[in-house]
Amino acid sequence: MSNELFATDRLEFFVTCPLGLEPALVTELQSLIDRPLKHGSGGTGFHGTLEHFYKVYLWSRVANRIMIVLHRGRLREQRDLYQQVHDLPWEQHFTPAQNFMVRCTGKPEVVNNTHFAALLAKDAVVDRFRERSGERPSVVTDDPDYTITVHFGRNNCAVYLDMCGAGLHKRGYRAHSTEAPLRENIAAALLIMNDWPRIAAAGGGFLDPMCGSGTIVIEAALMAARIAPGLGRVRHSLTLWRGHDRECWEQALEAARSAGVAGRAAHGGALIAGDRERKALQAARDNAANAGVETLITFTAMDVSAGLPADVAQLTPGLLVTNPPYGKRLSVAADLQTLYYALGRMISALPGWRAAVLLEDGNLVRAMRLTPESLSEVKNGPITCQLASFEVAAEQQMLPDLETVAGTVDENAQAFVNRVRKNRKHLEKWARREGIGCYRVYDKDLPEFALAVDVYDTVAHGVWLHVQEYEAPKGVDPVKARLRLTAACDLLPEVFAIPKNQVVLKTRRRQTDAGQYERRYDSYDQRGGYIVVREGPGVLLANLSDYLDTGIFLDSRDIRAMIRQQAPAKRFLNLFCYTATASVQAALGGAAATTSVDMSNTYLEWARQNFLANDLPLTHHALLKADCLQWLAQQNAIAPAQRTRYDIILLDPPTVSRSKGMDSMLDVQRDHVQLIYDAMRLLADGGVLYFCTNYRRFKLDHEALLKFTITDISHRTLPQDFARNKKIHQCWQFVRKEQS
């Protein structure tokens, strides 16, 4: 087909990019094409010719995709979407022998959902081809020739055609990847946002001291040598497009090749990539060879904690860009705070340089002890990161080494040791007398040591310590906080006369995405598996290293003991049972039957092991996998005379639950009234319900629960080892005012 229909300068294009990188894309496009740009979220639009299209395709380092805009229209009903897509001249773009896929984005109001909208649009395209030629193109989802995107606004839609094939970020050079690699276009954007094209043109140096598989330094080399990233792609799907202009395309290719030859000859700055992992360096070398830039880069073994290598210090001032490891996608044993402090020290030793660090946790910038010039939000896949950019002053003073900082920690370490010894002496005899095998010996008693230390005196494996580090408040120097943590973990084995590998350390750190605690270990121990500890007349299984919590909520110990005492011949219901420790104690107390409900297969298997460890047959003890909200609704749907009634009910829901297995999200503050009413409908005459929560800002809605007699038993159920922290949990006793 002739491409005359597309020989115009009014073709409309939209170039997409990751969220947060729009400024870098605009900067890049302004340098590539002399056209007005229409800025948007997730991309930039422009009107232009096929020559502009080919140039952006070959040269854009930031773009995900470049699409031609075929249609914009208003939608009043579902039929409008079908008709508007059907009316587009698809036969001018591809043939029935080719294939395509449809994807929908945005939030359609006139269509039920994006999946149904995609089916409507697909049918419209197929029907048009069938009506005009009697043939239809195939629909594929894996590497299609063309992707049709329908984007919905409130009551309108736009239709785009992407004929580029694979995403433009796929340059074709990355044969090897380390864990959690950075996308090529994100790496390029970091460089553009920190002025690397200008710095490179002036002969400035480049350094990535933690290069991983080399993506950042390779993109820096491609940019410095003026090598078009599109030249590395093996397949150019756009050449299949019926609007393709072969002559214009060949001219664009030749211009790109010539620019690369000239750029290589003109490039004079040094690029250095370092990493302490040998495998990472080899992967980076191989990828650089595939990209054709291995001769432009010096790869060297480098450990940030060892300071700035002498050869780097001699470079012409330039740019340092790096993407250090972070706990969410990499399970690292290294101390992140110490790592970032060392990185800050390295940057401070580069006066006159510019530096940029991609951080998963923006708070880590404080550990670097440098003030960023700017802090920008960048999406790295599903992770929202912060890009911290720095200008290093020519007279920048180097940060002191860690040994100097550590000198201020020692003076507080003895106070920590003294407090732990004092608490242990007070609690150890009490725990032995009460038959308690695990207890809290320290809980942020001193502000300088924000830790919780729990003792697990096992039946067969001696004493173990479970240490949880609370995230330091913003006013606390993070480097000192980490050094204090290291000091504490070195001292605790001496206090308890145990090996270091019997100390398990975890960090409780709030994530930004859902307020959930992240599982992370900086630990001396990674062994996994159960240990057995005593509680009252029985034993419970704990796991110190595989999960954030250990399987035993220590602050609920007195509640379990109270249930055990009340349990003889009673029927006990344990909702949100976790590892069913309360059910085990009820069974040990002589309960006629127990029912434990939870959504987690892991916890229910753990519960089963708890019963077996106490030689309690499961004949009269049910472990049910169910959403507690749904299970309660099902039980209450049974006629009152036929419902199973329970003499004791424990209702201890999580603060918030986003389990994929649940039909709806649970919020204990919002939902507690309904939960209590639903559970009370299963209570036998004369029975009692205990409602507990660890949500510190929780407020019981007394007015909505006037039907019941409520007694606050929080202080009565607070164990002695938690007396220093009276807000650890809240607990109420519920009974009916009138028997039903």
User: Where along the chain do its domains lie?
Assistant: 4-162, 184-225+267-399, 402-547, 553-740
CA–CA dist 442, 419 (Å, integer) = 8
CA 616 to mean position of chain CA atoms: 40
User: Given the DSSP bridges, would you call strands 451-457 and 463-470 parallel, antiparallel or unpaired?
Assistant: antiparallel
CA–CA dist 470, 510 (Å, integer) = 10
Most confident option among 3-7, 458-462, 705-709: 705-709
Q: What is the mean pLDDT of residues 585-606?
A: 96
Residue whose C-alpha is closest to residue 65's, from 97, 105, 31: 105
- Note the pLDDT of residue 331: 34
Q: Which fold has domain 184-225+267-399?
A: Rossmann fold (3.40.50)
Q: What is the CA radius of gyration of the chain?
A: 32
Concatenated DSSP letters for 177-188?
A: --SSPPPHHHHH
CA–CA dist 254, 264 (Å, integer) = 16
- Is the pLDDT score of 285 beyond 50? yes
Q: How confident is the model at residue 180 (pLDDT cuts 50, 70, 90)?
A: low
368 close to 482: Cβ distance less than 8 angstroms: no
- Is the pLDDT score of 407 beyond 70? no
Superfamily of domain 553-740: Vaccinia Virus protein VP39 (3.40.50.150)
Could you read off the pLDDT of 530-578 as tens digits, one per residue?
899 999 999 999 999 888 889 999 999 999 999 999 999 999 999 999 9
- Note the pLDDT of residue 618: 94
Token pair, residue 250, equals 């060949």
Residue whose C-alpha is closest to residue 68's, from 185, 170, 164, 169: 164
Token pair, residue 57, equals 């395709």
Q: What is the mean pLDDT of residues 582-604?
A: 96
Could you read off the pLDDT of 426-440 as tens digits, one per residue?
999 999 999 999 999
Higher pLDDT, 524 or 642: 642
693 close to 556: Cβ distance less than 8 angstroms: no
Name the amino acid, one letter, at 444.
K
- Is the pLDDT score of 489 beyond 60? yes
Superfamily of domain 402-547: RNA methyltransferase domain (HRMD) like (3.30.750.80)
CA–CA dist 523, 574 (Å, integer) = 33
- Note the pLDDT of residue 511: 39
Token pair, residue 565, equals 């005492």
- Is the pLDDT score of 405 beyond 90? no
Same fold yes or no, 4-162 and 184-225+267-399: no
Element (H, E) at 669: helix 668-680
Q: How confident is the model at residue 5 (pLDDT cuts 50, 70, 90)?
A: low
Q: For 180-333, list the strands marked E by DSSP.
A: 206-208, 271-275, 297-301, 319-322
| Angle subtended at Cα 36 by Cα 32 and Cα 38, rounded to the nearest 5 degrees | 105
CA–CA dist 701, 734 (Å, integer) = 13
Could you read off the pLDDT of 665-676 as tens digits, one per residue?
789 999 999 999
- Is the pLDDT score of 295 beyond 80? yes
Could you read off the pLDDT of 215-232 as tens digits, one per residue?
999 999 999 999 999 988
Concatenated DSSP letters for 95-147?
A: -TTSEEEEEEEE--SSSS-HHHHHHHHHHHHHHHHHHHHS---EE-SSS-SEE
Q: What is the mean pLDDT of residues 491-507?
A: 85
- Phi, psi of 376, deg, nearest 5: -115, 145
Is 333 buried (19+), middle (13-18) or exposed (0-12) by CB count in 10 A? exposed
- Note the pLDDT of residue 130: 94
> In CATH, what is the architecture of 4-162?
2-Layer Sandwich (3.30)
CA–CA dist 492, 419 (Å, integer) = 11
Higher pLDDT, 524 or 231: 231
**Distances, alpha carbon 637 to alpha carbons 233, 645, 664, 665, 735, in Å:** 61, 14, 19, 21, 22
- Note the pLDDT of residue 68: 94
Residues 6+ apart with CB under 8 A from 34: none
- Is the pLDDT score of 401 beyond 80? no
CA–CA dist 263, 26 (Å, integer) = 23
583 close to 612: Cβ distance less than 8 angstroms: no
CA–CA dist 326, 280 (Å, integer) = 16
pTM: 0.61
- Note the pLDDT of residue 567: 97
624 close to 596: Cβ distance less than 8 angstroms: yes
- Note the pLDDT of residue 6: 64
- Is the pLDDT score of 391 beyond 80? yes
As a 3-state breakdown, the chain gives helix, strand, coil percent values, each rounded to 5, of 40, 25, 40
- Is the pLDDT score of 334 beyond 80? no
- Note the pLDDT of residue 263: 87
Q: How confident is the model at residue 594 (pLDDT cuts 50, 70, 90)?
A: very high
Could you read off the pLDDT of 439-479 as tens digits, one per residue?
999 998 888 888 999 999 998 888 999 998 887 666 666 66
- Is the pLDDT score of 70 beyond 80? yes
